[in-house]
Amino acid sequence: MRKLIILTPLVILFIISIFLLIYLLSNKDPNKPPSVLLNKNVPNFESNSLYNPKIYINYEKVKNKKVLINFFASWCLPCKVEHPLFFELSKRYPDLFILGFNHKDKIEDAKKYLLEDGNPYNFVGVDKDGMIALEFGVFGLPETFLINENGKIIYKFMGPLTKEIILNEIEPLL
Amino acid sequence: MSSLVGFISLSLAIGINFFLLFSYFFLKNKNYNFNLIVRLSSVLTLISFFSLMFSYVTSDFSNFNVFQNSHSNKPLIYKISGTWGNHEGSMLLWISILSIYGFLFSITKVADLKFKQLTLVIQSSLHILFGLFIVFTSNPFLVNSVIVKEGLGLNPILQDPGLAIHPPVLYAGYVGYSIIFSLAIAGLLNKNNDDEWLYIAKKWSLISWTFLTGGIALGSYWAYYELGWGGWWFWDPVENISLMPWITGLALVHSLLMIRGEQILKKWIIFLSILCFSLSIFGTFLVRSGILTSVHSFAADASRGLFILLIFFIITGFGFLVFLLRTPENSKPINLLFVNKVSALVINNVLMIITTLTILLGTIYPIIIEVITNDRISVGGPYFNSTVIPIMMPGFLLMSVAPVLSWQTNRLRNAKLYVLGFMIISVVVLIQSYFTTFNTWGVLGLILGVWIIVASIISIFSSYKIKFSYKMLQKINPHIAHIGVGIAIVGITCSSVFKEEYDYNINEGDKFRIKNTFITFQKVETTNEANFQALRANFLIKKDEKLVANIRAGKNYYPVSKMITSEAGIFHEWFRDIYFIVGDQKDNNWFIKIYINPFVSFIWLGVLIMVLSGFIGVTKK
């Protein structure tokens, strides 16, 4: 009995270590939680164009299309990294509607950024106060969502996209 | 160059410890100076640490670590603190402090030389484990592959004087437990079964615990004014994992003070000694592996996580295994009465362990659930508040009289006086809260806090003849520490239960009033500082028509890392803090949030008293 009590810490240690080990090996990253929005309908949004405040976009306008939504900003360095990949994507999938949301940015800075690095988006919406990002549950920039023809979010990625991710995770869904 | 020096001296230090380990077990003839070798390895480790610091101070961007975490126009203090403001450097700090403790222990007088050697060998093994971890997964001396003129900058949220010293102090606590661990294991393994180590461990445990207290408080104080959330404790996982070794360390300190040769207590102390250090490494693991989401955003890396998990498993497993195999036998029974010193100690120890387990469960529960069900849950403040606080309450009730309880009998001297004191306090607090805002937790917390202070004062005056001398201070030191706890409890209770929150949407020049305080939102200014742009809103605080303070709150923008930090403005008064946060500007109006935090300063005062009394305790013979 006494030995049993003294054995307890070792047993607890084993159990905790095993759980931690499984957790580490399963490659889960707590900073990238699965979106609660996954497989749900895309939240309502309405946003003005970066280039012309009179033109606006909402989901009605891109209904029945596959839409790739990307939140970006000129101050976001990782966004700059993934930026060129969208050109390739739009070339290969001309039917895909790539919608960029310029997040908490200055209009001039955003325009300058897209002028210098090019504009791969079919439409650039302004999300100046971050309300749209809030609706989408965006944690940090960049963040990318894929919406299917039925208006359901079928994929979400936090952080800069890479060639591998586009190839292995996004293209199979297109 | 300094990177090379740093790397070589670290490797040499590890090599020397390997030699020590090897020679201890395999060389019969040990005619070399054991202590000297330990000191040599310590000095080499410190050289390694200071060469990294040198790279930071001189902005040597040929070092990859410096390049990633520093910037040449950073103020000197943040260049220095940048050394440990990143994962690799902070692990180097960890091992350096481990070395310092080894060094200090090597110059400590210990009667049993074999025992001392064994302790140092265990300490060296710890050094090897963490040293290899640094060399293989977290090397701060990597050379930058490209030539650069400028670094990427330190996370702005870390550019703060409080946070600059928070990690070293915290680590001095965490790592201090390594000596206790080594002592306990050496004590178990040592065939010459005397209890000398218990008396040596007393001081080391108090030192570690005091540093840990200071470290946690510094982090908490930083969170209070830097994060801009209006609070000072958020049950953040990283806070929780520092709280666990703190509580077990508290149990350890008290058990060591009380031991009078009882074998069962000795067993318990060994258990606590192993547990304290295990929890310290466990904390390191959880933070460094990136398993937990928290304000301590460190880069996650699975290989690092695995390595530390392995270290944690080896050290803890080894510790408890030795404990299992070589438990001391019960000989002298424990003198347990209904209310004597020993029973109070046992009750408080049990409560502290339950508290630790509760926090442990809440902290790792999300991980377990995610492994089993793949669902993500979060355990936060409500769980901890509703479990931890009620468990601790009886302990607080008891601690006020525990120091004056008798060893041998059930009697408490002046029991009537204490009961009367308790009744008066309860009635006064109840009446007071009945006429103001009644809150159950508030009433309980206030009664407990005030009771601890009053009972400790009664104890001091009824048990000692008061003289003003340092010796006297040492004598009444336990009571002083408890008064600190009481003061902190009053602060904690008031600031969390009676906190008020006000929101304003106002323009420059507007005036408003919170109770008897008139506040003018004077103007907003932006200035360019050395490494950031500052936006500051100026608030004039008037009381009875007199200007009493000018508080600046705002935000800093760090162009290098493109981050904005919030800088709360705090008007400190003895009995409350007025806490200003500036939000965004919209339609010419500024969003201003104001918290009235009553008695927050009591928390810091209470902790300060605890820390001071901890150091006074160390000087006691």
> Number of CB pairs < 8 Å for A and B?
70
Task: Report residue B334's pLDDT band, with 50, 70 and 90 as the boundaries.
Answer: low
Give the residue with greater pLDDT, A169 vs B562.
Answer: A169
Task: Report residue B298's pLDDT band, with 50, 70 and 90 as the boundaries.
Answer: low
CB contact under 8 A, B290 and A29: yes
φ, ψ for residue A47 (rounded to 5)? -150, 145
Q: Examine residue A116 and state whether it is found in any structural domain, yes or no.
A: yes
- pLDDT tens-digit map of B508-558: 888 888 888 888 888 888 888 777 888 888 899 888 888 888 888 888 887
φ, ψ for residue B542 (rounded to 5)? -120, 140
Task: Report residue A82's pLDDT band, with 50, 70 and 90 as the boundaries.
Answer: confident
Give the residue with greater pLDDT, B303 vs B177.
Answer: B177
- Alpha-carbon distance of B272 to B298, in angstroms, equals 29
- Alpha-carbon distance of B228 to B225, in angstroms, equals 6
CB contact under 8 A, A26 and B371: yes
Q: Do residues B303 and B132 lie in contact, with contact meaning Cβ atoms separated by under 8 Å? A: no
What is the average per-residue pLDDT within B312-330? 86
Reported as type and span, the H/E element at residue B553 is strand B546-558
Which residues in chain B have their CB less than 8 angstroms from residue A20's CB? Answer: 285, 289, 291, 309, 364, 367
The reported pLDDT for the residue numbered B296 is: 55
CB contact under 8 A, B290 and A3: no
Distance from CA of A13 to the nearest CA of B (A): 7
Which residues in chain A have their CB less than 8 angstroms from residue B368's CB? Answer: 19
- Alpha-carbon distance of B82 to B475, in angstroms, equals 41
Task: Assess A106–B contact: CB distance below 8 Å, yes or no.
Answer: no
Least confident among B250-254, B356-360, B458-462: B458-462
Task: Report residue B272's pLDDT band, with 50, 70 and 90 as the boundaries.
Answer: very high
The angle subtended at Cα B91 by Cα B249 and Cα B352, nearest 5°, is: 15
- Show the tokens assigned to A162: 């890479």
Which residues in chain B have their CB less than 8 angstroms from residue A129's CB? Answer: 584
The interaxial angle of helices B341-373 and B381-399, nearest 10 deg, is: 170
Q: Given B291, B327, B584, which is nearest A23 (Cβ)? A: B291
Helices (H) and strands (E) in chain B, counts: 18, 9
Distance from CA of A91 to the nearest CA of B (A): 32
Which residues in chain B have their CB less than 8 angstroms from residue A106's CB? Answer: none
Instruction: Choose, out of B273, B282, B313, the residue to mutate when testing the contact with A (most A CBs < 10 Å).
Output: B313
The reported pLDDT for the residue numbered B228 is: 67
Phi-psi group of B169: left, alpha or beta (phi > 0 → left; psi -120 to 50 → alpha; rest → beta)? alpha
CB atoms within 10 A of CB B525: 12
Reduced 3-state DSSP string for chain A: CHHHHHHHHHHHHHHHHHHHHHHHHCCCCCCCCCCCCCCCECCCCEEEECCCCCCEEEHHHHCCCCEEEEEECCCCHHHHHHHHHHHHHHHHCCCCEEEEEEECCCHHHHHHHHHHHCCCCCEEEEECCCHHHHHHCCCCCCEEEEECCCCEEEEEEECCCCHHHHHHHHHHHC
**Residue A123 is part of a domain; what is its CATH number?**
3.40.30.10
What is the average per-residue pLDDT within B282-297? 70
For chain A, what is the domain count?
Answer: 1
A98 DSSP β-pair partners: A68
Q: How far is CA B417 from CA A86, B28, B421, B452, B462, in A?
A: 78, 65, 6, 14, 10
On the 0-12 / 13-18 / 19+ scale of CB atoms within 10 A, B526 is exposed
Task: Assess A26–B contact: CB distance below 8 Å, yes or no.
Answer: yes
Task: Assess A141–B contact: CB distance below 8 Å, yes or no.
Answer: no
CB contact under 8 A, B327 and A6: yes
- CA nearest A33 in B: which residue? B376
CB contact under 8 A, B291 and A24: yes
- Alpha-carbon distance of B133 to B281, in angstroms, equals 13
Cis peptide before A142 (omega within 30 of 0): yes
The reported pLDDT for the residue numbered B133 is: 92
Q: Given B278, B293, B302, which is nearest A31 (Cβ)? A: B293
Coil, helix or strand at residue B565: strand
CB contact under 8 A, B302 and A31: no
Q: Examine residue A90 and state whether it is found in any structural domain, yes or no.
A: yes
Q: Do residues A87 and A116 lie in contact, with contact meaning Cβ atoms separated by under 8 Å? A: no
Highest mean pLDDT among A98-102, B180-184, B263-267, B473-477: B180-184
Coil, helix or strand at residue B133: helix
Which residues in chain B have their CB less than 8 angstroms from residue A142's CB? Answer: none
- pLDDT tens-digit map of B138-175: 899 988 877 777 777 766 667 778 778 888 999 999 99
Compute, in degrees rounded to 10, the torsion defined by CA atoms B366, B369, B372, B373.
-110
Q: Do residues B554 and B567 lie in contact, with contact meaning Cβ atoms separated by under 8 Å? A: yes
- Alpha-carbon distance of B469 to B467, in angstroms, equals 6
Task: Report residue B222's pLDDT band, with 50, 70 and 90 as the boundaries.
Answer: confident
CB contact under 8 A, A28 and B316: no
CB atoms within 10 A of CB B80: 15
Predicted TM-score of the model (pTM): 0.81
Which residues in chain A have their CB less than 8 angstroms from residue B293's CB? Answer: 30-31
Task: Assess A7–B contact: CB distance below 8 Å, yes or no.
Answer: yes
CB contact under 8 A, A23 and B370: yes
Reported as type and span, the H/E element at residue B61 is none
Which residues in chain A have their CB less than 8 angstroms from residue B268's CB? Answer: none
The reported pLDDT for the residue numbered B335 is: 64
Instruction: Choose, out of A1, A4, A20, A113, the residue to mutate when testing the contact with B (most B CBs < 10 Å).
Output: A20
Cβ-count burial A55-79 (b if 16+ within 10 Å, e if not) = eebebeebeeebbbbbbbbbbbeeb
pLDDT at A89 over 60: yes
φ, ψ for residue B554 (rounded to 5)? 175, -145
Q: Do residues B555 and B567 lie in contact, with contact meaning Cβ atoms separated by under 8 Å? A: yes
Q: Examine residue A50 and state whether it is found in any structural domain, yes or no.
A: yes
Q: Examine residue A59 and state whether it is found in any structural domain, yes or no.
A: yes
Contact residues for A99 (Cβ-Cβ < 8 A; gap 6+): A57, A62, A67, A68, A69, A70, A121, A122, A123, A125
Give the ipTM. 0.81
Task: Report residue B331's pLDDT band, with 50, 70 and 90 as the boundaries.
Answer: low
Task: Assess A150–B contact: CB distance below 8 Å, yes or no.
Answer: no
What is the average per-residue pLDDT within B117-125? 92
- Alpha-carbon distance of B101 to B116, in angstroms, equals 13
Q: Given B271, B285, B292, which is nearest A30 (Cβ)? A: B292
Instruction: Choose, out of B267, B278, B309, the residue to mutate when testing the contact with A (most A CBs < 10 Å).
Output: B309
Looking at every residue in chain A, the average pLDDT score rounds to 81
Which residues in chain A have their CB less than 8 angstroms from residue B313's CB? Answer: 13, 17
Give the residue with greater pLDDT, B283 vs B404.
Answer: B283
Task: Assess A16–B contact: CB distance below 8 Å, yes or no.
Answer: yes
Q: Examine residue A16 and state whether it is found in any structural domain, yes or no.
A: no
The angle subtended at Cα B251 by Cα B248 and Cα B257, nearest 5°, is: 140
pLDDT at B98 over 90: yes
The reported pLDDT for the residue numbered B230 is: 66
CB atoms within 10 A of CB B569: 22
What is the average per-residue pLDDT within B13-30? 85
What is the average per-residue pLDDT within B419-435? 87
- pLDDT tens-digit map of B560-619: 666 777 788 888 888 888 888 888 777 778 888 888 888 989 999 999 999 999 999 988
Q: Do residues B135 and B11 lie in contact, with contact meaning Cβ atoms separated by under 8 Å? A: yes
Task: Report residue A149's pLDDT band, with 50, 70 and 90 as the boundaries.
Answer: confident
> Distance from CA of residue B290 to its chain's centroid?
19
Coil, helix or strand at residue B547: strand
Q: Examine residue A49 and state whether it is found in any structural domain, yes or no.
A: yes
Strand order from edge to edge, sheet including B576-586: B500-506, B589-598, B576-586, B569-572
Q: Do residues A123 and A99 lie in contact, with contact meaning Cβ atoms separated by under 8 Å? A: yes
CB contact under 8 A, A34 and B302: no
- CA nearest A9 in B: which residue? B320
φ, ψ for residue B366 (rounded to 5)? -60, -35
Task: Assess A17–B contact: CB distance below 8 Å, yes or no.
Answer: yes
CB contact under 8 A, A23 and B371: yes
Q: Among all chains, which residue has been given the structure tokens 């996650």?
A: B300
The reported pLDDT for the residue numbered A31 is: 47
Q: Examine residue A13 and state whether it is found in any structural domain, yes or no.
A: no
Least confident among A164-168, B26-30, B312-316, B331-335: B331-335
CB contact under 8 A, A19 and B364: yes
- Alpha-carbon distance of B228 to B581, in angstroms, equals 7
Measure the N-to-C terminal CA separation of chain B; round to a whole number of Å.
Answer: 47
* Of B452, B445, B478, B451, nearest in space to B464 by CA: B478
Q: How far is CA A81 from CA A72, A74, A117, B561, in A?
A: 11, 11, 10, 16
Q: Name the residue range of residue A79's domain.
A: 35-173
Q: Do residues B553 and B537 lie in contact, with contact meaning Cβ atoms separated by under 8 Å? A: yes
- Alpha-carbon distance of B615 to B611, in angstroms, equals 6
